[in-house]
């Protein structure tokens, strides 16, 4: 006689969390097919196999579903960032994050969906507010990670950590968008990206014991301007006339005739 294995019963909270995940997955599947605005709540209900009342218990509207997707996405990204916060090799950690993003959006549909969510955030205030909050937390966390690396002498201390974090985020977002058109990013491109990061972050004056500040260039001493020659304003002495020759005397006398 076969023994039936009993499943561990879920708590009400676990069941609610699972239903929320199921709704988001089903909504994502619908959005990938037809886009946000072409997908109806009824289609999402049909896909997940729940009635409208059950779905609306978790999400009051389609906008709420889109906002939840954006928030979940950045929550996963922050978790990834926290894993590398205390790394001893920041460039290597950033390389690992780059490849994690590339794997996450390897499918055209996933990259396209994330791109569409960001575009929706520009039109929809509710979605935009969620994305802005999530982005601020992400950039601030990355900037803090860069500052820690600067204090340890791992990267250039002259970098503006906040600006560098924002630029890195923009570069990663660009990789996501690129994967919507180039599903399989060539390894050569990722290797080039790694090399570029290492060159950008490295301090030219760094030493094994830490970073050294470059000596300031000495300011050249000011050279006094050359004195201008003084003008002699005294009256000129009368010129001494040379004695006339006999020929000059004869010519003068002829001119008077």
| pLDDT 10s digits, 24-37 | 999 999 998 888 88
User: CB within 8 A of 169, min separation 6: which ones?
Assistant: 135, 138, 139, 142
Residue 55 has what pLDDT? 93
Q: What is the pLDDT of residue 57?
A: 93
Helix, coil or strand: residue 72: helix
Average pLDDT over residues 127-145: 90
According to the model, what pLDDT value does residue 74 have?
76
Mean pLDDT across the stretch 246-257?
53
Least confidently predicted of 90-99, 172-181, 194-203, 217-226: 217-226
Which tokens go with 60?
């009051």
pLDDT tens per residue across span 8-17 = 666 778 888 8
For residues 27 and 64, what is the distance between their CA atoms, to the nearest angstrom? 11
Which pLDDT value is given to residue 217?
43
With beta carbons less than 8 A apart as the criterion, state whether 192 and 169 touch.
Answer: no
CA separation for the pair 148, 168 (Å, rounded): 16
Which H or E run contains 164?
helix 161-179
- Record the tokens describing residue 5, joined without a space: 């294995």
Give the confidence band of 103 by pLDDT, cuts at 50, 70, 90: confident
- Residue 257, pLDDT > 60, answer no
Pairing of strands 210-211, 206-207: antiparallel
What pLDDT, on a 0 to 100 scale, did the predictor assign at position 79?
A: 84
Q: For residues 224 and 22, give the distance between their C-alpha atoms in angstroms, rounded to a whole number.
A: 82
Question: What mean pLDDT value characterizes the chain?
Answer: 78
pLDDT for the residue numbered 101: 82
pLDDT at 52 over 60: yes
Mean pLDDT of 145-166: 93
Structure confidence at residue 115 (pLDDT): 84
- Over 90: is that where the pLDDT of 47 sits? yes
78-88: burial string, b at 16+ Cβ within 10 Å, e else: eeebeebeebe
**pLDDT number for residue 224:** 53
DSSP 3-state of 201: helix
Token pair 């009051």: residue: 60
Q: What is the pLDDT of residue 111?
A: 81
pLDDT tens-digit series, residues 192-231: 888 988 899 886 544 444 444 444 444 455 555 555 555 5
Can you give the length of the chain in residues?
A: 257
pTM: 0.67
DSSP code per residue over 48-83: HT--HHHHHHH-SSHHHHHHHHHHHHHHHHHHHHHH
Determine the Cα–Cα distance for residues 214 and 206; give it in Å rounded to an integer. Answer: 10
């Amino acid at each position: 006689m076969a023994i039936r294995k009993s499943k561990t019963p879920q708590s009400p909270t676990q069941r609610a969390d699972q239903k929320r995940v199921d709704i988001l997955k089903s909504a994502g599947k619908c959005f990938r097919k037809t886009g946000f605005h072409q997908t109806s709540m009824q289609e999402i209900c049909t896909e997940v196999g729940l009635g409208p009342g059950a779905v609306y218990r978790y999400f009051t509207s389609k906008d709420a579903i889109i906002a939840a997707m954006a928030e979940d996405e950045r929550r996963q990204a922050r978790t990834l960032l926290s894993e590398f916060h205390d790394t001893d090799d920041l460039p290597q950690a950033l390389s690992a994050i780059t490849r994690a993003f590339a794997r996450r959006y390897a499918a055209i549909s996933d990259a396209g969906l994330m791109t569409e969510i960001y575009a929706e955030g520009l039109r929809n205030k509710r979605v935009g507010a969620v994305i802005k909050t999530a982005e601020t937390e992400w950039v601030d966390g990355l900037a803090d990670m860069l500052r820690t690396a600067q204090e340890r002498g791992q990267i250039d201390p002259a970098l503006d950590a906040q600006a560098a974090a924002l630029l890195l985020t923009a570069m990663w977002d660009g990789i996501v968008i690129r994967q919507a058109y180039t599903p399989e990013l060539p390894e050569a491109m990722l290797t080039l990206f790694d090399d570029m990061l290492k060159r950008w972050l490295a301090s030219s004056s760094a030493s094994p014991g830490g970073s050294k500040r470059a000596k300031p260039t000495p300011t050249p001493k000011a050279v006094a301007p050359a004195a201008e020659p003084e003008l002699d304003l005294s009256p000129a002495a009368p010129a001494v006339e040379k004695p006339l020759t006999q020929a000059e005397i004869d010519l003068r006398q002829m001119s008077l005739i």
